[in-house]
């Protein structure tokens, strides 16, 4: 499959220095980190476009998604942005996830697969991976494991039928890091039991399924309600290594509180206050968790009519105790 309408060169040999299309040339022509870069070479209009154009939207969507893990919200935001060509979005998403934990990389892989089903055609994925391969030397400056990580992203994309196997055979390899990356992807794709292994490509600590993560949180909260041991709940939450997903812990805690007994509300308030004061849950994650519950109150009150009043009570208490912003 061609990238930007140009035939791909074979991936087996060295010395294939072509790149993935005119748009990629534009991206590579200007390197702000190049010692010879002179900002005066760029017009005021060009700088304004970079600041206010698609890249700013892409960066905002990527950041919000890796913080929230909300696939539905991310797909909606991408659809509403009307990017046209999404190759740059996928590239930036992968690179941003490379700089974070296995959990965020799993989220990125899930969004990449989800967008293939709903929004982005296959050729744009080919273009995106080609662009990322071209930029690997630059990426590896900030992400030393970039070659390995992109190889895993590529193998997962093939398994998820986002990228065709033929791309791995025919993509353009402009330098040794790109060759090494594709070799890693090929090795993963051709290994025994590849479906299971690539499905869990980010390791046992990636919390590969959002449902699994929520189940872990529910278990922590159930055990806390029974034991009242805030320190054990704290240790269990920290062990999940998903700091950017703590709003889900807040959300599910508050849902227990608004639908439970007075004793449940007291215990949840004590736990959230403790986790905030010990800097386990930050202001932003705490606020987002409460906001998520507030948005769902109309549904919650169908089973718990007192939920809105209970929510107001716990929110007022949290604000007064300074573990929730106004």
pLDDT tens figures, 38-85? 333 333 333 333 444 678 888 888 888 887 778 888 888 888 888 778
- What is the rounded average pLDDT of the residues 112-116? 86
- What is the rounded average pLDDT of the residues 95-112? 88
Residues in the chain: 326
pLDDT at 218: 92
Task: Read off the pTM.
Answer: 0.55
pLDDT at 64: 84
- Sequence-separated (6 or more) residues with CB below 8 Å from residue 177: 136, 137, 140, 146, 147
pLDDT at 40: 33
Secondary structure of residue 6 in the 3-state scheme: strand
Q: Residue 133, class by beta-carbon neighbours within 10 Å (0-12 exposed, 13-18 middle, 19+ buried)?
A: buried
Positive/negative CA dihedral, 57, 58, 63, 64: positive
pLDDT at 15: 31
Higher pLDDT, 60 or 9: 60
State the Cα–Cα distance between residues 8 and 198, nearest whole angstrom.
26
State the Cα–Cα distance between residues 273 and 156, nearest whole angstrom.
40
Closest CA to 314 of 299, 293, 283: 293
CB 307 within 8 A of CB 318: no
- What is the rounded average pLDDT of the residues 211-221? 86
pLDDT at 264: 92
Secondary structure of residue 3 in the 3-state scheme: strand
Model pLDDT for residues 247-280, shown as the tens digit of each residue: 889 999 999 999 988 999 999 999 999 999 999 9
pLDDT at 3: 39
Of 56-70, 178-192, 231-245, which has the strongest mean pLDDT? 178-192
Is the pLDDT score of 16 beyond 50? no
Geometric angle at alpha carbon 176, from 175 and 178, rounded to 5°: 70
pLDDT at 203: 67
State the Cα–Cα distance between residues 55 and 115, nearest whole angstrom.
18
pLDDT at 96: 92
pLDDT at 116: 80
Tokens for 268? 């949840």
Is the pLDDT score of 36 beyond 80? no
Is the pLDDT score of 292 beyond 60? yes
State the Cα–Cα distance between residues 311 and 290, nearest whole angstrom.
9
- What is the rounded average pLDDT of the residues 212-228? 90
pLDDT at 13: 35
CB 140 within 8 A of CB 146: yes
State the Cα–Cα distance between residues 117 and 92, nearest whole angstrom.
20
pLDDT at 204: 53
Question: Could you give the domains of the chain?
Answer: 22-29+43-199 (1.25.40.180), 210-320 (1.25.40.180)
% of the chain exceeding 70 in pLDDT = 81
Higher pLDDT, 39 or 182: 182
Distances (CA, A) of 185 to 167, 182, 233: 11, 5, 39
């Amino acid at each position: 499959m061609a990238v930007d309408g140009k035939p791909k060169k074979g991936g087996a040999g060295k010395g294939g220095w072509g790149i993935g299309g005119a748009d990629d040339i534009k991206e590579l022509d200007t390197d702000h980190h190049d010692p010879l870069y002179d900002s005066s070479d760029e017009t005021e209009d060009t700088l304004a476009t970079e600041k206010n154009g698609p890249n700013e939207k892409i960066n905002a969507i990527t950041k919000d998604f890796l913080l929230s893990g909300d696939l539905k919200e991310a797909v909606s935001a991408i659809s509403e942005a009307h990017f046209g060509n999404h190759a740059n979005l996928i590239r930036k998403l992968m690179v941003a996830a490379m700089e974070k934990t296995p959990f965020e990389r799993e989220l990125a892989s899930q969004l990449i697969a989800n967008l293939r089903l709903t929004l982005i055609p296959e050729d744009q994925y080919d273009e995106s991976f080609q662009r990322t391969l071209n930029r690997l030397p630059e990426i590896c400056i900030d992400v030393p494991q970039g070659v390995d990580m992109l190889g895993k992203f590529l193998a997962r994309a093939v398994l998820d039928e986002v990228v065709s196997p033929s791309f791995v055979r025919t993509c353009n390899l402009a330098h040794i890091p790109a060759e090494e990356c594709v070799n890693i992807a090929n090795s993963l794709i051709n290994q025994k039991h590849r479906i299971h292994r690539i499905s869990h490509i980010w390791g046992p600590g990636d919390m590969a399924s959002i449902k699994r993560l929520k189940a872990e949180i529910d278990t922590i909260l159930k055990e806390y309600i029974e034991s009242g041991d805030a320190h054990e709940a704290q240790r269990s939450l920290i062990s999940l290594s998903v700091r950017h997903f703590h709003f889900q812990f807040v959300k599910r805690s508050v849902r227990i509180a608004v639908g439970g007994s007075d004793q449940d509300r007291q215990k949840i308030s004590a736990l959230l206050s403790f986790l905030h004061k010990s800097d386990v849950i930050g202001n932003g994650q705490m606020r987002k968790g409460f906001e998520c519950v507030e948005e769902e109150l109309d549904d919650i009150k169908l089973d718990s009519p007192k939920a809105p009043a209970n929510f107001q009570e716990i929110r007022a208490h949290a604000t007064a105790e300074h573990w929730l912003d106004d």
